Structure 1
Amino acid sequence: MNIDHTYIKKILQARVYDVAIKTRLDYAAGLSSRFNNHIWIKREDMQPVFSFKIRGAYNKMASLPKIALARGVIAASAGNHAQGVALSAAQLGIPALIVMPKTTPEIKVAAVKRRGAEVILHGTTYDDASHYAQQLVKQQGLIYIHPYDDIDVIAGQGTIGMEILQQHSNELDAIFVPVGGGGLIAGIAIYIKYLRPEIKVIGVEPHDAPSLQAALVAGERVNLEQVGIFADGVAVRQVGELPFEIARHHVDEVLLVNTDEICAAIKDIFDDTRTITEPAGALALAGLKQYIVRENCEGRHLVTIASGANMNFDRLGYVAERTEIGEQREALMAVTISECPGSFRHFCHTLGQHTITEFNYRYAYAKEAHVFVGLRLTEGFAEKERLISKLRDKGYAVVDMTDNEMAKAHIRHMVGGHPPHLLDEHLYRFEFPERPGALLHFLTKMGQRWNISLFHYRNHGSAYGRVLVGIQIPHEQLDEFQHFLDTLNYPYWNEINNPAYRLFLNFF
C-alpha cells in the first residue's frame, strides 16, 4: 500500500476524540484587518491539556493491544507530551511513568502528577530524560510513547489538518505550522497535500533551533550542536526520522523567526482571542506575519496553528519587554552625547516628536556620556534607520542595539558599571540550567583560579537562566580557562567584542 494511503487511513480512523476535542478555527479579525489578509487561528490551546499533544499520544496508546498496555507506558518530555500521555493513561486506566528533566518548571511537573502519572526527574535536558526512559523500558518492560517519531502519533496530529479542511472548505492559500520534532507538520502536511495539494504547508522554527530546515538543506537529518530554549516546546536537536521523510516531499518551505517576533505573536493572539499562548504556540503566527511581509500579499486566506498555552506566568514580563521590538515599535540605541549641562535636553530636541521609552545613564567620563536609549517607533524599522541617520548627521555617535541579544537581555538593566581600572577582564554570556546547584557547580569547577569581576543573572521562567559573567584571566591562563569552559558543558558565548560591553561596562 502507498505510504500516503496508509497515513490517510490512519488519520481517518484515529481515536483522538475519546479524549481530545475538535478545536475551533477562529477568524482573527484584528490581525486580518491589520495585515489586509484573511487569517484564521486553529485553537489547539483549547485542548484538555492546553496543547495538541493529546491527539498523538492517545491515538498511539489506543492503538496498542490491551495486554501490551497492562504493564504501563513511559515517556520522556519537558511538558506538553507528558501531560498528553498522563491524561491518555488515565482515560485508558493504565499506569504511566514520565521522565522529565530536572529543569522542568514545577507548574508542568505538578500538572502531570495531577493526571495520575508517576514522575521521575532526571538529567538537565530532554535528551538526558529520553536516554534514561529508554533504560527503564528495558528494565521494566514498559512501552515507550515517542513524542513525534511514530506513525500513530503522526496520524493523531494529522487530524488537525482534517479538521481545518472540514471547517474551511473554501479557498485556502497556506497553513503555517510550528516545528519541533516534526510530528505535527508531518501529520498535517500528508493529509493536506493528499486532498488539497494546491495549499501550501509552511513550517516555522526558531532561528536558534532550525532542526527541520537544517535537515532539508543538508538532504538528511542533522544533529544540531545547540538549540535555543525560549520556545522550549520546539527545542529539538534533531527532527524525527519519519517526519523528515514526509516533510521533504510535502512541506513547501520552512521559515525561521527570532525571539522578538515570537513575543510579538504572543501578543497578537492575545489581542484577538484573549488567550496567552506559550512561545511555541505563537511560533507559527510569527512565521505567517513574516511571510506576508516577504510576499507583500493581500487578500490571501491563511491559517496558523496555536499549538499550546502552557505558559509560565513569570515569563510574561520578559515577553512584554520583547514584544515592542518584535512588532517594530521600539528601537534600542547606544548614543554618545556631551557630558555637560543641557546635553540631554539638546539630544531630546534632536529626536523631535519621538517618545523615549527608556534612558539609562551614569556618569563615567568628564567629556562624554554613553546613554542607552529606547525610542518608540510608529513606522517600523525603516523609521529607525532614518532616525539613526538624522542623529549621525547632527554629530552623534550611534550604535544600533535593537538586534543585540546581550544588550536586550542584560545591558539595558546594568548601564553605569564602568570600573575605574580592571586588567585582563573577559566577558561571557552563559545559559545556566535553572536548578538548585547550577551556580555552585560553576563556581566549584572554576575554583579559585580566576576572579569574577561582573555577574548579572536574569530568570525568565524558562528551563535556563541567562547569566552574564566578567572574569579576570591572565593571558597565559587562557588555554586553561578554555579547558574549564569545555568541561563545564554549559552553553556560552564570548562577548568581549560586543559594542554594548565596550560602551557601558568596560574600562577605556
Structure 2
Amino acid sequence: MSKENYYPLMADIVKASKLVQEVVFETPLLKNLNLSSKYKANIHLKREDLQLVRSYKIRGAYNKISSLSKEVLAKGIVCASAGNHAQGVAYSCNKLKCFGKIYMPETTPRQKIKQVKMFGGDQVEVILTGDTFDDASAKANADAKELGQAIIHPFDDPKIIEGQGTIGLEILQQFNDPIDYLFLPIGGGGLASGVGAWFKEFSPNTKIIGVEPEGAASMKMAFEKKDNVALDTIDRFVDGAAVRKVGDLTWKICEKVLDRILVVPEGLICSTILQMYNEDAIVAEPAGALSIAALQLMKKEIKGKNVVCVLSGSNNDITRMEEIKERSLLYEGLKHYFMVRFPQRSGALKEFVNDVLSPGDDITHFEYYKKSSREKGPAVIGIEVQNPSDLQRLKQRMTERNFIFKYLNDKTDLFQFIV
C-alpha cells in the first residue's frame, strides 16, 4: 500500500499492541460518577494520563522507533514536539539506547521540558526553537535532512498511528456493552486515526467524535475546505493540540472514521480542568481535557448512552493554574474587565466600592491608567461576580451614578493587551 493510500491494518495494530507492552500498561477504563450524574449517561474515562510518561504518546513513539534498523538508530533520531510526544520519544531512546535530538517550542511549559530530560537522560538533547510546534518541526526537519537522521513524526506516520490505535483495541476489550459515543482529542490526528480505524472495524455503530480546541481547529478546517490547509494563526494555550496543519495521512483517515468534529472553546476546557481536579482529583492538561469538555456540547445527545472519553494526558504545569482559572471565569461569565473613568469629585472611588458593587462582587484587578490622577483618571478594573446575570445590573449601577466606562471583555485586541 502506498503512503498516499495508507489506512491502518488491524493486524498491524495488534502487532503494535504486543510490542508496546514493553513500555506501557493497559490503562484502566473507569466509570466517572460525577460526569455520569451530571450528564445522566454512563461515562467512562480511558485513563491514558496514568501512563509512565503521563500520556498515550509513548505508544506511537516506541512502536515507530522500535521498527527502525540498527543502522538507522546508530545515526540518531530527531523529533519535534510540544511536549508529550517528546517524552515518549525520550523514554524510548533511553530504553533502546539510541541518541535523539528533540526540538520543542520555546513556549513549552517548563514542566514538560524537565520531564523530557528526565526520561531521556544522557540519550537525548533538548533544543528549544520557535513559538509553535510547526516552527520546531520545520527546524527539526531541516536539521535531520542535513544530517541524514530519521524523523519521528508525532502523528503523520503509519507506525505512530498504529501505536496510538492500540488504545482502541484495549477499550473494546475492557468494555463489554455496546459503546454509543467515543470522544477523541485531536491535535495532529494520530490518535483519532488509529483508534477511529479500530472502532470502525470492530464497533461500527459507535459514533466517533473528534474534538479540537477552538483556537486551533485545523482538522475541522481541512474537512470544510476538502484540503489539508494550514491555519493562519492559532491559540497556543492548548499546547498539546495547537497544530496549524494536521497530517496528510491522518486527515484522509479521519475523513473515513470520524462521524463529527466538535470545536471546544478554551474557556470551557479550563472549566473542565478545574472541575476534574476539584471533583475527582484528576490533573488533566488542556489537551487531555478536550474530550471531556466536549460532553457539554452534546449533553442532550449522550443522555442515557454509553460514552467513552480518552483522557489523553496529565502533563500540566502548576504555574498555569492562574491562567486556567482566569480563562474559566471569563468563559463562565463570572469575571469582567472595565475601563472606568471616575467622576471628578472627591470620594468617587469610595462611592464606586460602596454603591456600585454589590455585596457579592469582588475586585480582583485594579490599575490606574494615569498614576498621577488618582480618583480622577481612568482605571482598569477586574470584577468577579456571583452569577453571569449580575453583569447587566453592574453596568446599570455605573451608568446611574455617572461612572463612564468601557466594557473590555468583548474588545478582543484591547482586552488581551491590557489583561
Same fold (TM over 0.5): yes
Question: Conserved in 1, the CA contact under 8 Å of 2:348 and 2:375?
Answer: no
Q: Superposition RMSD on alpha carbons, in Å?
A: 3.3
Task: Render the CA deviation track for 1:275-326: whole Å, top value 9, x for unaligned.
Answer: 322222222222222332xx47533333222222222232122212322233
Quote the residue 1:477 is aligned against: none
2:141 is aligned with 1:141 = no
Answer yes or no: is 1:321 the counterpart of 2:326.
yes
Determine the structure 2 residue equivalent to 1:290.
297
AA aligned to 1:223 is A
Mapped to 2, the partners of 1:302 and 1:287 lie a distance apart of 12
Deviation, 1:157, is 0.8
Provide TM-score, normalisation by structure 1: 0.70
Q: CA separation in 2, counterparts of 1:366 and 1:65?
A: 72
Aligned to 2:313, the other structure's residue is in SS state coil
Q: Which of 82, 92, 97 matches 2:96?
A: 92
Aligned-partner Cα distance in 2 for 1:105–1:91: 24
Aligned mate of 2:183, from 176, 185, 197 = 176
User: Whole-Å Cα distance in 2 between the matches of residues 326 and 101 of structure 1?
Assistant: 27
Which of 206, 209, 227 does residue 220 from structure 1 map onto? 227
SS in 2 for 1:243: helix
Question: 2:335 touches 2:382 (CA, 8 Å); kept in 1?
Answer: no
Other-structure match for 2:26:
22
Residues 48-127 of structure 1: pairs in structure 2 closer than 5 A: 48-114=52-118, 115-116=120-121, 117-121=123-127, 123-125=129-131, 126-127=133-134
Cα offset, 1:97, TM superposition: 2.5
Distance change in 2, residues 1:278/1:369 (3 Å): same
Equivalent in the alignment of 1:230? 237
Q: TM (normalized to structure 2)?
A: 0.84
Work out whether residues 200 and 252 of structure 1, in 8 Å CA contact, stay in contact via their aligned partners in 2: yes
What is the deviation of 1:214?
0.7
* Equivalent position to 1:8, from 3, 7, 10: 10
Equivalent-residue separation in structure 1 for 2:164 and 2:23 (angstroms): 13
Partner residue, 2:364? 358
Aligned residue pairs, count: 407
Matched, 1:376 2:385: yes
Q: Kindly provide the amino acid, as one letter, of the partner of residue 258 in structure 1.
A: P
Could you say if the C-alpha distance between residues 243 and 348 of structure 1 is closer, same or farther in structure 2, counting changes exceeding 3 Å?
A: farther
Letter in 2 for 1:321: E
Q: Which amino acid aligns with 2:44?
A: W
CA–CA separation in structure 2 for the residues paired with 1:168 and 1:389: 52
Q: CA deviation at 1:232?
A: 1.4
**Which residues of 2 match residues 234-249 of structure 1 at below 5 A?**
234-249=241-256
Secondary structure in 2 aligned to 1:319?
helix
The residue aligned with 1:309 is: 314
Q: Give distance in 1, aligned partners of 2:354 and 2:172.
A: 54
CA distance in 2 between counterparts of 1:346 and 1:70 reads 70
Partner of 2:35: 31
8 Å CA contact 1:112, 1:119 repeated in 2:
no
Q: Distance in 2 between matches of 1:411 and 1:359?
A: 11
- Give the direction of change, closer, same or farther, for the CA distance of 1:390–1:41 in structure 2 (3 Å limit): farther
Task: Give distance in 1, aligned partners of 2:348 and 2:104.
Answer: 57
Deviates more, 1:401-410 or 1:159-168: 401-410
State the distance in 2 between where 1:129 and 1:19 align.
Answer: 26
Q: Structure 1 pair 84/218, CA: closer, same or farther in 2 (3 Å)? A: same
Query: d(CA) in 2 for partners of 1:399 and 1:55?
Result: 51
Cα distance change, pair 354–21 in 1 and its aligned pair in 2 (3 A): same
Deviation at 1:182, TM superposition (A): 0.9
Q: Which amino acid aligns with 2:362?
A: I
SS at match of 2:26: coil
**Does residue 132 in structure 1 map to residue 139 in structure 2?**
yes
Q: Which amino acid aligns with 1:121?
A: I
The aligned runs of 1:107-506 (5 Å cut-off) are 107-114=111-118, 115-116=120-121, 117-121=123-127, 123-125=129-131, 126-292=133-299, 295=300, 298-333=303-338, 338=343, 340=345, 341=347, 345=351, 354-358=360-364, 360=366, 362=368, 372-378=381-387, 381=388, 383-384=389-390, 387=393, 391=397, 399-405=406-412, 409=416, 411=418
How far is the alpha carbon of 1:67 from its aligned partner?
4.3
Query: Aligned in 2, Cα 1:141/1:368: closer, same or farther, shift over 3 Å?
Result: closer
- The alignment partner of 2:55 has SS state of coil
Q: For 2:265 and 2:298, locate their aligned partners in 1 and report how far apart those are by CA, in whole Å.
A: 14
Structure 1 gaps of 5+ residues are: 413-508
Using the TM superposition, name which of 179-188 and 73-82 deviates more. Answer: 73-82
Give the letter aligned to residue 313 of structure 1.
Answer: I
Q: 1:75 and 1:371, CA in 2 relative to 1: closer, same or farther beyond 3 A?
A: closer
Query: Is the 2:8–2:194 Cα contact (8 Å) retained in structure 1?
Result: no
Q: Residue 66 and residue 39 in structure 1: after superposition, are their counterparts in 2 closer, same or farther (change >3 A)?
A: same
CA 111–348 in structure 1, closer or farther in 2 if over 3 Å, else same = same
**Structure 2 residue identity aligned to 1:8:** M
Query: Whole-Å Cα distance in 1 between the matches of residues 8 and 53 of structure 2?
Result: 28
- Which of 1 and 2 has higher RCO (CA within 8 Å, sep 6+)? 2
Distance across 2 between alignment mates of 1:375 and 1:339: 26
Within 1, Cα distance between the matches of 2:74 and 2:367? 65
> C-alpha deviations, 1:123-160, integer Å up to 9, x for none?
31433433333344344432221110011101111112
Q: Deviations over 1:384-417 (max 9, x none)?
A: 56546855895776654445555665535xxxxx
Distance 1:351 1:366, change over 3 A: closer
Deviations 1:466-490 (A, max 9, x none): xxxxxxxxxxxxxxxxxxxxxxxxx
Amino acid at match of 1:360: F
Question: How far apart, CA to CA, are the structure 2 residues paired with 1:140 and 1:406?
Answer: 43
**Are the structure 2 counterparts of residues 192 and 359 from structure 1 closer, same or farther at C-alpha, using a change threshold of 3 Å?**
same
Helix, strand or coil at the partner of 1:39: strand
Segments of structure 2 that go 5 or more residues without pairing to the other structure are none
Give 2:45's match in structure 1, choosing from 21, 41, 44: 41
Percent identical pairs in the alignment equals: 34
> What do the CA deviations read for 1:184-211 (whole angstroms, capped 9, x no partner)?
1111211112222222222222222111
Letter in 2 for 1:237: R
